[in-house]
């Protein structure tokens, strides 16, 4: 096993949870099958899971409402301690519980198989195995469909099998531990497990109209055990495709596995995170649905996985972007649903109170309507990188790319909402301007390799953009790039400028900009995004991707010791499993925001490659 953490005394924690005190975000581990995901706490409780897709209604959701959300717990009677780790490079989560009378190991995973892209099992497996003495444990299954709105009808359908059905959702529950109904909507059983014994639990999504057919296929203990080995083999085969062997290999492998798990296999889209509405400010309203696919994140993830040798996943992101933004450039959106859906209307969920009363809980994200000009550069940069790898754009896609370049040339001088999706008035963000410059620059490079395009006018626009950025987005004294035209404040997004080629990492202007960003935004070794008002209210935490961007910049500027210090500080903000949230509260020493965050993990990979 890799990634083992230090022991945590969980008896008191479990008692507090039963009284309705929400665990910290870093309590959770991720399991997933490239279609859906679940979060499992230190005390063996699945407190968040959406089936059959990342963006489906939750079936276990007490992470966002302890009373109404639903959960599935497999855990010793309170009074145990635990350690946990992932098995090798897989997403099979292993939690070892220790009590006064013995020890038991819980394995949690989504069952994987070859061909699962088209025909996934949509099955969570939980296996509790005695490893020493005896352990008294309790199994509880309390599904609540559609974000807690639906308490399902549960009925016995065969030997050791139950169906939970409500609305358009269904779950087939099987265990060899003789679960019994408690009331109308829950299943539970208490067990004593001894050394060498196993108790198995299977939770499988089924469509209600097909539920009886699914229930007719009786499971056997050996069938469930076989799923464990099949899943371990699947992750081992996938991990073997990577070729990184540097000093930070374990962390990189974990981040790559997270990116893989956040990928929706049928389309190649990557969700920003598997959760919605985990707050950036506790008790506040900076709560967003991240179970959507941002073009920016998918592009950056493609670059990170390509660097590790996972070309198939990178190509999947590219194909998703190419398909989903196909049409005219004017129809280009910054984010989409995992199936390519375009309408991501933002709605509150009245049935859930929110994590630690942080409300509202939101579905969808109105940012899909925003103008964020960096998306032009992301699309063209991805096309250019893929072209360099021997995959030039086909004629129809080139026609679309020309449209994107022309649109960037038309709109670059206008303000936008920027990478941070501000909900205040649009501004002339320097990062957005440079990414628009990137779109023009990559379009010119592609055209120079034999494509028809208005290159002469593009070159003129590129020159005008460069002059405007260096005149309005650069402060001569003290010689740094700034957040937006006419302002003096700093922005962590400025750390991304060298990736475009607009300015070199070791350019004196960039070195000074890095130092200015640190001076204004650094707090306890981590970076905030910015310090200005954004129309949302509340003070958010440090932004972990930006901290990794800083480490990468320092490393590529030859400031190796500084880079390593910043990198290790950012890594320390992860949990014992090597998982990162979006933000970190340095004062409260706790994670904030949706979890685990894809942008944090892909930024961790790029920083580790630079620092290592």
Q: How confident is the model at residue 114 (pLDDT cuts 50, 70, 90)?
A: confident
> Using one digit for the tens of pLDDT, what is the confidence trace for 342-363?
999 999 998 899 999 999 999 9
pLDDT at 14: 40
Take residue 149 and report the two structure tokens written for it.
Answer: 């709105």
Average pLDDT over residues 418-441: 95
Starting at the edge strand found earlier in the chain, the sheet holding 583-585 runs: 542-543, 583-585, 590-592
pLDDT at 313: 81
Among 213-227, 299-313, 535-549, which range has the highest average pLDDT? 299-313
Place of tokens 């320092």: 554
DSSP state of 280: S
Average pLDDT over residues 284-304: 91
> Using one digit for the tens of pLDDT, what is the confidence trace for 561-611?
999 999 999 999 999 999 999 999 999 999 999 999 999 999 999 999 999
Query: Does 147 score more than 90 pLDDT?
Result: yes
C-alpha angle 17-204-152 in degrees, rounded to nearest 5: 65
Backbone angles phi, psi at 30, to 5 degrees: -105, 135
Query: Does 6 score more than 60 pLDDT?
Result: no
Distance of CA 243 to the CA centre of its chain: 23
> Using one digit for the tens of pLDDT, what is the confidence trace for 494-539?
999 999 999 999 999 999 999 999 999 999 999 999 986 655 555 7
> Using one digit for the tens of pLDDT, what is the confidence trace for 241-277?
887 888 999 999 999 999 999 999 999 999 999 999 9
Cα–Cα distance between 323 and 301 in angstroms, integer?
17
SS3 of 386-444: HHHCCCCCCHHHHHHHHHHHHHHHHHCCCCECCCCCCCCCCECEHHHHHHHHHHHHHHH
Q: Kindly state the percentage of the chain with pLDDT values over 70.
A: 94
> Using one digit for the tens of pLDDT, what is the confidence trace for 200-245?
999 999 988 877 776 656 578 899 999 999 999 999 999 988 878 8
> Using one digit for the tens of pLDDT, what is the confidence trace for 55-88?
999 999 999 999 999 999 999 987 789 999 999 8
pLDDT at 67: 94
Cα atoms in the 13 Å half-sphere on the side-chain side of 375: 30
pLDDT at 11: 36
- Output b/e per residue, 457-468; b: 16+ Cβ within 10 A: ebeebbeebbeb
C-alpha angle 419-26-247 in degrees, rounded to nearest 5: 75
pLDDT at 528: 96
> Using one digit for the tens of pLDDT, what is the confidence trace for 443-488?
999 999 889 999 999 999 999 999 999 999 999 999 999 999 999 9
**Quick one: which of 478, 513, 590 has its CA closest to 544?**
590
Q: Kindly state the percentage of the chain with pLDDT values over 90.
A: 76
- Output b/e per residue, 358-397; b: 16+ Cβ within 10 A: bbbbbbbbebbebebbbbbbbbbbbbbbbbeeeebbeeee
pLDDT at 216: 58
Cα–Cα distance between 440 and 395 in angstroms, integer?
18
SS3 of 528-552: CCCCCCCCCCCCCCEEHHHHHHHHH
Query: Does 327 score more than 80 pLDDT?
Result: no
The SS3 assignment for 104 reads strand
pTM above 0.85, yes or no: yes
pLDDT at 79: 77
Q: Are 298 and 270 in contact (CB under 8 A)?
A: yes
Cα–Cα distance between 476 and 393 in angstroms, integer?
40
Cα atoms in the 13 Å half-sphere on the side-chain side of 67: 5
Q: Are 70 and 62 in contact (CB under 8 A)?
A: yes
pLDDT at 535: 55
Backbone angles phi, psi at 144, to 5 degrees: -140, 110
Query: Does 18 score more than 50 pLDDT?
Result: no
- Domains, the chain: 8-214+222-239 (2.70.98.10), 299-312+371-611 (1.50.10.10)
The SS3 assignment for 275 reads coil
**Quick one: which of 280, 300, 298 has its CA closest to 289?**
280
């Amino acid at each position: 096993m890799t990634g083992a953490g230090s022991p945590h005394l969980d008896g008191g924690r479990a008692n507090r949870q039963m009284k309705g005190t929400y665990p910290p975000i870093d309590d959770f581990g991720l399991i997933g099958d490239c279609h859906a995901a679940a979060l499992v706490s230190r005390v063996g409780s699945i407190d968040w899971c959406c089936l059959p897709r990342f963006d489906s209604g939750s079936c276990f959701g007490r992470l966002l409402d302890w009373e109404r959300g639903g959960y599935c717990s497999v855990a010793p009677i309170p009074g145990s301690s635990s350690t946990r780790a992932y098995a090798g490079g897989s997403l099979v989560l292993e939690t070892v519980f220790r009590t006064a009378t013995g020890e038991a190991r819980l394995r949690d995973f989504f069952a994987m198989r070859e061909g699962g892209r088209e025909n996934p099992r949509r099955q969570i497996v939980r296996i509790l195995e005695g490893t020493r003495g005896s352990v008294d444990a309790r199994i509880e299954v309390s599904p609540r469909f559609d974000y807690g709105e639906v308490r399902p009808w549960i009925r016995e359908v065969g030997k050791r099998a139950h169906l939970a059905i409500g609305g358009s959702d269904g779950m087939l529950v099987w265990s060899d531990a003789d679960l019994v109904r408690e009331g109308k909507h829950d299943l539970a059983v208490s067990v004593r497990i001894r050394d060498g014994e196993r108790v198995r639990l299977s939770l499988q999504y089924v469509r209600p109209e097909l539920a009886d057919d699914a229930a007719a296929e009786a499971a056997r203990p050996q069938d469930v055990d076989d799923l464990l080995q099949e899943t371990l083999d699947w992750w081992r085969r996938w991990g073997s495709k990577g070729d990184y062997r540097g000093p930070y290999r374990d962390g990189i492998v974990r981040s790559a596995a997270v990116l893989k798990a956040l990928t929706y296999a049928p389309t190649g889209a990557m969700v920003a995170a598997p959760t919605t509405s985990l707050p950036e400010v506790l008790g506040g309203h900076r709560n967003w649905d991240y179970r959507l696919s941002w073009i920016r994140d998918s592009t950056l993830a493609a670059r990170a996985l390509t660097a590790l040798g996972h070309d198939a996943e990178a190509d999947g992101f590219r194909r998703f972007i190419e398909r989903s933004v196909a049409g005219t450039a004017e129809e280009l959106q910054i984010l989409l649903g995992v199936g390519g859906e375009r309408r991501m209307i933002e709605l509150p969920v009245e049935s859930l109170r929110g994590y630690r009363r942080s409300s509202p809980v939101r579905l969808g994200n109105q940012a899909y309507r925003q103008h964020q000009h960096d998306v032009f550069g992301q699309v063209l940069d991805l096309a250019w990188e893929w072209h360099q790898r021997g995959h030039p754009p086909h004629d129809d896609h080139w026609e679309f790319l020309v449209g994107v370049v022309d649109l960037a040339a038309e709109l670059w001088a206008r303000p936008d909402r920027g990478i941070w999706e501000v909900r205040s008035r649009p501004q002339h963000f320097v990062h957005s301007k440079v990414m628009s410059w990137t779109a023009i620059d990559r379009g010119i490079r592609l055209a120079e390799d034999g494509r028809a395009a208005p290159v002469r006018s593009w070159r003129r626009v590129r020159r005008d953009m460069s002059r405007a950025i260096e005149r309005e987005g650069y402060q001569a004294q003290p010689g740094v790039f700034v957040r937006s035209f006419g302002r003096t404040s700093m922005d962590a997004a400025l750390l991304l400028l060298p990736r475009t080629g607009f300015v070199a990492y070791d350019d004196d202007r960039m070195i000074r900009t890095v130092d200015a960003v640190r001076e204004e935004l650094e707090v306890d070794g981590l970076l905030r995004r910015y310090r200005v008002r954004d129309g949302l209210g509340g003070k958010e935490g440090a932004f972990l991707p930006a901290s990794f961007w800083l480490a990468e910049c320092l490393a590529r500027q030859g400031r190796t010791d500084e880079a390593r210090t910043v990198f290790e500080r950012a890594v320390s903000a992860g949990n014992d499993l090597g998982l990162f949230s979006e933000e970190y509260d340095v004062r409260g020493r706790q994670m904030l925001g949706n979890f685990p965050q894809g942008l944090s993990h892909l930024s961790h990979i790029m920083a580790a490659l630079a620092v290592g």
